[in-house]
Structure 1
Amino acid sequence: MSCWTLLGLPATPDTRTIKRHYAQLLKQTRPDEDPEAFQRLREAYEQALEQAHWLSEEHDDAQACAVDDLRHDLTAQQAPAQLSPAQRVAPLLEGIRIEQLDLRHEQAIEADCALEFELGLLRHCVERPGQSPQLLAWGFETFNWLSAWQRLDLPDYLTDALLQQCRQTLEQSLRNALEQQDDDAFIQAYARRPVHGWLHDLDQRHWFNQCLAQMLLQNPYWSSTVFQAVCAGQGWKAGKDNLCPDTEWNRMLVREQGPAFIASQRVLAMQAPSSPEQRAAYLLLAPISLHRRRAFARRLNEEDWARCRTLSSHLHAYYPQVAAEMPGGTPFFWREWEFAFNAWPMYLAILIACLAGALVRYAPQGNGPGEILGVTLFWGACFAASAALMHWLWQPLAHRAWVRDHALSARLLHRFDPGRNLLLLRDLLPATVLGSALGFVCGPTSTIVYLGMLLGIAGVRHSGFSTRIFWRHSAPWQRRLLIGLGCVLVAAGLVALKLASNYATVTANQGLQQWSERLCAQMPASARECAAPATTDQWYGREDTP
């Protein structure tokens, strides 16, 4: 191979052109990366400078002969001179086929339009990517496109477009195989990479490593067979000589260990909830329904939620296929449950029980709605404060004894609670204590109403009715709006009841009577009937009995 072919230049006496092209080639051929190619380039550069010196001397003689050449047979040379190189190469590129390429290329060289032929073929391949795979392969082999040996005077916009087209074709074939979860198709497409000669360039090898790593990580499907094949082909391995980017390599190692990790988490989810790790695994990976997960989430504390956040982030980052199988297609389906107010059934049941007790006790005595409401609010506030204190003190103790409580409840309540939704120490013991206190202060009716309310709410939760009808299909702001509207309606009802009681008619034996004024107005102060303090007869009088 001549020095001019190696430099990608025609023979020229212009030393400035030689030096400029040599400087451009040095950017692609570095001595520390490919010393042999650099040495060949250096030798070609020195030979070209030496030959340029001799060509410059011959150029002076050629100028002297140019006048004689112009005088030779103007008629014979005028016709071809009228055609530009682009015009001469146009018939050679029209309707070209793979069988004709070698012959047409030779004709282009003879017609002194080899550069125009190469440009036309390159433009044809870029503009018709689906119609010219064989032409493109011939161009890569003949003209060394997208390599260090291609012509330097090729337009950048054409070479860049060709590079993007080749990258997209290679990447799409591999990505389609991954999306179809076809390991054999991916390995076959990957094995054909030597056909793409442009991948031998150092920059393209770096791009291909990055592309493969991101492709494997972004796809929900993961195959150990594909990963091992790519590692063997790309030279990915643990150590200093690893050609895979460090960040992607560590993430791929985590995904490679995914089946063992997910299996261990599923086993952990089947064990007794004795640790935050086990409770987080149960909430996220146990094969249970959504309302059972919600019921379980009501018993978690801050340490459990922290472990849920860690496990969910890990699943979202490294195991998208497992995350897609969770409720809502995301491992963060529980986010609204973490800060939910789960003690509202207890306070609602206390308020309803106090109202029932006040009605039973004071309504038969003729007390108005205002008095009954006042007693209800007083009892409700006292019992709500006591329940909040008991909940704050008892829940941490019950949380520590979760495993024993679970075993004890399963042994004693298996007939009444087959689904094991109730816990003896955590749920039934506080309800029994509060129900007994309500019965002692407000009457047995309050205890019955309180326990009945708790059982009714638990039944609705267990059936998942509210989740299916409203909560599952509504946005968070809609749920908050409904809760706020309910609170406003309750407050408005209480205010209306209080206002109505203030305008009630005074009944018999209520208020001050005028008897003392009428009996004692005209009598002396020493009269026995008007002595202070006034008697009941003086203030209220006597009712006539039939």
Structure 2
Amino acid sequence: MSCWEVLGLSEDADKRSIKRQYASLLKRHRPDDDPEGFQKLRQAYEQALEWAQWQPEAPTLSQLPAPLDDVQAPPPVPPHPLERPSPAQRLAEQCLEGVDAANLADRLAQARLQGCERAFEHGLLQRCLPDEDNYALAEAAIEQLHWLTPWQREDLPHAATEHLRSRLMDHACSRLTEVLHDTQRFLDLARQLAASPWLQTLDARQWLNQSLAMILLQAPDWSERLFEGVCAQQGWRLSGHHSACPEPWWSQLLAQSQCATFVQNQVRLTQFYDSSASQAARMLFGSLDEDARVRLSITFSAADWDACEELYRTVQLRHPQLLYQMPQLAPDNWRPLRRRPPAVAVPAAIVGASACMSWLLEYRLGGSFYISVIDLLLRALFLGAVAWALNAGCKMLSRAWRLDQWLHERYGHWLSFRRPAPLPIRESLWVGLLGGVIYMAGGLAGSATYFGILATSAIMSRGATSKRIASLYSRLYERLPDDVLVGLFLGILIPLVLLGNTFAGNAPLAANEGLQAWPQRTCVARQLTTTPCPVQLSARQWHVPKTSQADQP
């Protein structure tokens, strides 16, 4: 209690009123009957007299100067409080000497006993404002004096309290950022801040939730465990229309959480080898260097590359921030590894070379048509197996990937007519080696047919028509089942064989073959003749009289 509360007077009471009130209260608090009450009354009386002595006394009528007719006396100027501190301020300064968070309660009780609580609180607030480390003292003062709460003193300077609030907020954010790497310490500190008295208002709670959300979003490494812990402490996932975490930070946090879960699932898929999805995850999210990715791409099928494209589209649509966080997801880093060799040119060249060899080595030498066709199919099958082996061998040259890329960039446009230009080692070498095998098996004609078909296909690939045909072919291949494609192939092949046999059986006959006139066939049948057999009979020879024929020997 202050001295004015003990005496029951107001702070503007003069000495006469203080003395009169003291004499009145002394009758109730005699030293013999109530020594403790007398001690409090005496201390209050002395403090009140000292306070009243500092206050300027109202002048009496005898002390006023004689008024002038035309001049009005100026009002008395009170002394500046900084020039002469009040007794309460001097007592408050004594109580504030060496104050800290540990002894604040004792100093506050002493100030209340001496009746300078108001001055003590004002001075304490000024001590908490400087930049030195007074956060512990400020938090203790907030707890005991209810600063920054609805129960603080109304006469505290608003600018000073708001400055203190700003400094406490900055200090809280810096402390949370420092312990961000330790999940448990971060959660404990967030729990302590949520229980702080100066953060119990609605605006303060909203600021705390917003600060926690921003710190989580700005963290260099996302921690799903930390996010779920903060959600549980702050009640961010409680049912309702609105989350305790303000927007747009709550939506960003949810998106970041879903993105982290997506990345974890993809990393988990890299440990398996049983599906195209795991292959795509290993290519896009695996920790592989360039050579390892090249070796991985050799084992990829069309379904694996389609899974990579689908995974990239998912990242692009749902989690675009990963494209900036993970550079290996860029299409320029993995799409060049997918090579699209011509699906028609090499098989057509093999079939053409086989047909040329069957024509020259079978049919022209007297073989039947069906035997020549069977020979064509067997030869094409053999060359296809050789082509597959050569292609697999060139693919295994993955260590020459950097050399292959260098040759492709420097001389790719000169080494092949096809566009886009193939890789010299991985895609063109086996085609050339297969041409050498065809030359050894079928001679110059077979190899010329093989390379001629390849050159024609490569030149045709430069135009837009070939691209449309390739696109149509790829769409048919993707949409039609395998059994339907086999049926179409056999349905086209068998009629072609039968049609070829028909044309082969109806070839024009040479001279002296087939049905001919009787005299000519008789002449042909003679072994020795005095006159040569006529090539064509004249009309007279066809219509010779019977008599003349009878006279002939």
**What band does the TM-score fall into relative to the shorter chain?**
0.3 to 0.5
- Structure with the greater relative contact order (CA < 8 A, sep ≥ 6): 1 or 2? 1
Which structure is larger by alpha-carbon Rg, 1 or 2? 2
Q: Tell me the TM-score normalised to structure 1 length.
A: 0.43
Higher helix share: 1
